[in-house]
Amino acid sequence: MQTTVAPAIQLRPIVAGVSGPTRSGAPAASDMDVLLARPAETVAACARWLELPAALEGLPQRVEAEFSHHAKATDVAFNPQLRLAEKQRVLERNGDLIRAALDWARREVEPRVRLPRMQPLAV
């Protein structure tokens, strides 16, 4: 039996970072580290691809405001260096368990999941 994962997961590569446009013009997928290293550029690329020119107005100020604090604890400062330090602490403490869980998921879950292909929206 195969499970279909919600189409929203297909947007993850778009918002997770960009390394340049693909043949379709969509931002190429990268990862959260790229997004945090170049947030304004990444958000702008997504806005252009989604054809949202109004999103570009005042973008640098909005990105600075949003990317300078933790999304779940807004009174906590946040930046790529803090995220990397936290990631390293988590991996030092739980790395073996995380790697084992990922290996299991690749072996047991991935073969049983089918992601639907994203189709262009009709306008």
For helices 39-49 and 59-66, the axis angle rounded to 10 degrees is 120
The confidence score (pLDDT) of residue 67 equals 86
What average pLDDT does the segment 101-114 reach?
89
pLDDT-above-70 percentage for the chain: 67
What average pLDDT does the segment 48-61 reach?
91
Residue 104 and residue 24: Cα distance in Å, rounded?
A: 34
Q: Is the pLDDT of residue 20 over 70?
A: no
Q: For the whole prediction, is pTM greater than 0.85?
A: no
**108-123 pLDDT, tens digit each:** 988 888 766 666 655 5
Q: Does 25 or 89 have the greater pLDDT score?
A: 89
The confidence score (pLDDT) of residue 107 equals 92
User: In terms of Cα–Cα distance, which of 39, 46, 52, 44 is closest to 12?
Assistant: 46
Q: Is the pLDDT of residue 95 over 60?
A: yes
Q: Is the pLDDT of residue 2 over 90?
A: no
All residues at 6 or more sequence positions from 7 whose CB lies less than 8 Å from its CB, including other chains: 116, 118
Give the residue extent of every domain in the chain.
3-114
